[in-house]
Amino acid sequence: MKVTLSHHAKKRITGRFKIGNQTPEAWASQMLSNAIYCGIGPDDNGEDARMYSHRGATFMLAVDKDVVKTVIPPSKSYINRIRRKVTNFITEEITKMSQQITEEVARIDKFRDELEEEIAHLEDRLSRARSLSTKLALQARINAVRMRMDELPAESHEIRRELTRTARGVAAYV
């Protein structure tokens, strides 16, 4: 996004942020190229402004022009409050995910028990079957059910691994 800076924005950037040897224009351009659009809200003068945010800096741009009106750094208490909210949200979501995974693993275990019952029933029918076609059909079904049972531990493991991958991602973020 190609923007121009108001005199006020240049003054705020040099006064509030450590930009090193960069010009305020270069710093703002770099930051805005990675910024996230946050919506339209009132600035300090009560006028609507487009808000973009990146690395804690909030850029307030005019609604109708690509002019940066001001740049606001986050306060420490604001950062801590947001960090707490994000951490609480992540904790709640991980707890929900863990609960869902536990329920899914329990469903897989229940399904495994049902498959074992089906195998027992099929083996009982197989022992009483007389015709070759019936015996072959029952044996094929028993083999298919056993193959499905053999897949269940891997499915259960993969579901549990998803929680581990998510936790690692959260640890990297937080």
pLDDT digits (tens, 9 = 90+) for 41-83: 887 777 888 999 888 788 889 888 888 988 888 767 766 777 7
pLDDT over 90 for what percent of the chain? 36
When the pLDDT of each residue in the chain is averaged and rounded to a whole number, the result is 88
Q: Tell me how far apart the alpha carbons of residues 174 and 164 are, in angstroms, rounded to a whole number.
A: 15
Lowest mean pLDDT among 29-43, 70-84, 94-108, 117-131: 70-84
Contact 49, 43 (CB under 8 A): yes
- The amino acid occupying position 16 is R
Q: Is pLDDT at 166 greater than 90 in this prediction?
A: no
**pTM > 0.95:** no
Q: Quote helix, strand, coil % in the chain, to nearest 5.
A: 65, 15, 20
Q: State percent of the chain over pLDDT 70.
A: 95
